[in-house]
């Protein structure tokens, strides 16, 4: 590509241009999202280098796609053949751990779990735990405002970011937010960058709020026949216990994970759904309290069977029943929906979606699981063997339109935690008003007048 040699000279470094390599840097995990190998990949090592690269690209209107680890599920990090991909994988230093303020300053390429591990020896933790936490980067987590299994207690990524260092498309470097807890000084620009998926600027450093490390915890898996009753169970447990997770999955999801991974089923009775909940041992009587709540739910007929972990290793094994679902489903090339509605409306919504799929798409198998404590449902449609990938995809696009309409009716969101990227942009209007979309376009123009930062993502 024409700009590559000039940019190499300008930066004094070599770019990656071998298409076998650039293609792996030019997409995330999203199935069905289009991409082509970028013109070049810059493995950035310093903020100054990024600044020079962005100023260069801005002047020549070269599209820039920022990449963390590529763990996204919406095509937000997908590139095309005109783009420069800037990978942050080499910028992976924990710059500072400040125990007194429970803060860490990190480069954007630090892996989520590496930060959590590094702060453990100080009795602290980094708690947002996206399913990809073993390999996703903090920069990517911030850019997508990633969620996870324990958000019900600890919140999503945005609740843990204090400040960001961002390179603007002009090459200018700005600091937004503050390491101090309070700084009420007009507009909060930092939160514009969180969840903006690389469309406003390039996040190269973050100041992260840590927390006291969680206490030992117990995990329960409960068998529930009706989805509405899972919500009753959630309401009942969360009234009396400070839950750190409340997840659910269907019997179909459990069957698939057990046969794929060889895990042990938690108990003999089969039920349509399972709730997995976790609580920390924060007071001496907490286990008795949890057992009393369990018995209360059994007495009311909501819970049919259940198990509580007797050790940390059993707790880990119970978690695997939920955590391994996503990886298990890849073999069916699933079409993923990551949606949210208010907890009180989830049961009706789920029934409406099941009805819709049963009537109009009887060939499709739908697998439900998700972070029900947050109202976040993962609806994966599995590709029937008889369908080609294209046939399957175009039918799923129709389903998504109908689900979008239902979400609008239920005042829900077309994306809960996976972001919008390429895959959900056509449905964004079901969650955000025309006025909001126009305001977002104005903000984009203000930060990125030459339209080079991850163009084509989120909205046109």
Catalog residues that contact ligand MLT under the rule CB under 6 A. 131, 326, 378
Residue among 184, 221, 172, 229 at smallest CA distance from 47: 172
Show the tokens assigned to 341.
């509605």
Angle at 242 between CA 238 and CA 248, to 5 degrees: 55
- Integer CA distances (angstroms), 54 to 14, 230, 235, in order: 16, 49, 49
Q: How far is the CB of 378 from ligand MLT (least distance, A)?
A: 4
- Integer CA distances (angstroms), 44 to 12, 288, 345, in order: 12, 53, 45
Residue among 416, 333, 404, 409 at smallest CA distance from 372: 416
First-last CA distance in the chain: 25
Show the tokens assigned to 400.
């998504």
How far apart are the C-alpha atoms of 58 and 91, rounded to whole Å? 22
**Do 139 and 194 contact (CB within 8 A), yes or no?**
no
Q: What is the DSSP code (8-state) at residue 449?
A: T
Beta strands in 251-405 (DSSP E): 273-280, 303-308, 335-340, 365-371, 376-382
**Do 339 and 407 contact (CB within 8 A), yes or no?**
yes
Given the structure tokens 């998926």, which residue do they identify? 197
Q: How far is the CB of 325 from ligand MLT (least distance, A)?
A: 6
- Integer CA distances (angstroms), 171 to 77, 144, 174, 189, in order: 20, 22, 10, 17
How far apart are the C-alpha atoms of 196 and 458, rounded to whole Å? 8
How far apart are the C-alpha atoms of 219 and 287, rounded to whole Å? 11
């Amino acid at each position: 590509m024409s700009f590559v040699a000039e940019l190499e000279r300008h930066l004094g470094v070599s770019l990656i241009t071998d298409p076998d390599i650039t293609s792996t840097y030019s997409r995330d995990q999203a199935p069905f999202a289009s991409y082509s190998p970028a013109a070049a990949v810059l493995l950035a090592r310093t903020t100054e280098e990024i600044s020079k690269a962005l100023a260069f690209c801005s002047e020549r209107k070269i599209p820039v796609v920022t990449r963390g680890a590529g763990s996204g599920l919406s095509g937000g990090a997908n590139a095309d053949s005109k783009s420069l991909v800037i990978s942050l994988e080499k910028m992976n230093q924990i710059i500072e751990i400040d125990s007194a303020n429970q803060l860490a300053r990190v480069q954007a390429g630090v892996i989520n779990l590496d930060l959590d591990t590094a702060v453990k020896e100080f009795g602290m933790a980094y708690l947002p735990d996206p399913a990809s936490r073993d390999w996703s980067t903090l920069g990517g987590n911030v850019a997508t405002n990633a969620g996870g299994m324990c958000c019900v207690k600890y919140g999503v990524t945005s609740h843990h970011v204090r400040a960001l260092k961002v390179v603007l498309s002009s090459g200018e470097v700005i600091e937004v937010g503050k390491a101090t807890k309070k700084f009420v000084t007009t507009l909060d620009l930092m939160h514009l960058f969180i969840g903006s998926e690389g469309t406003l600027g390039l996040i190269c450093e973050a100041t992260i709020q840590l927390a006291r490390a969680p206490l030992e915890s117990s995990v329960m898996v409960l068998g529930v026949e009706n989805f509405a009753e899972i919500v009753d169970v959630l309401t009942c447990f969360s009234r009396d216990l400070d839950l750190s997770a409340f997840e659910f999955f269907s019997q179909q999801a459990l069957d698939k994970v057990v046969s794929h991974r060889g895990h042990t089923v938690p108990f003999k009775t089969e039920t349509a759904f399972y709730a997995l909940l976790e609580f920390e041992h924060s007071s001496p009587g907490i286990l008795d309290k949890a057992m009393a709540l369990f018995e209360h739910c059994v007495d009311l007929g909501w819970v049919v069977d259940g198990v509580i972990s007797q050790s940390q290793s059993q707790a880990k094994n119970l978690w695997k029943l939920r955590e391994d679902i996503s990886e298990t489903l890849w073999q069916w090339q699933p079409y993923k929906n990551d949606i949210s509605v208010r907890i009180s409306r989830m049961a009706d919504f789920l029934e409406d979606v099941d009805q819709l799929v049963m009537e109009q798409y009887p060939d499709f198998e739908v697998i439900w699981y998700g972070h029900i404590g947050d109202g976040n449902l993962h609806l994966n449609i599995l590709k029937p063997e008889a369908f080609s990938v294209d046939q399957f995809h175009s039918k799923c696009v129709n389903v998504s339109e109908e689900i979008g309409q239902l979400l609008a009716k239920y005042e829900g969101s077309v994306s809960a935690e996976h972001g919008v990227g390429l895959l959900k942009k056509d449905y964004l209007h079901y969650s955000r008003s025309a006025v909001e979309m126009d305001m977002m376009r104005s903000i984009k123009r203000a930060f990125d007048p030459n339209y080079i930062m991850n163009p084509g993502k989120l909205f046109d």
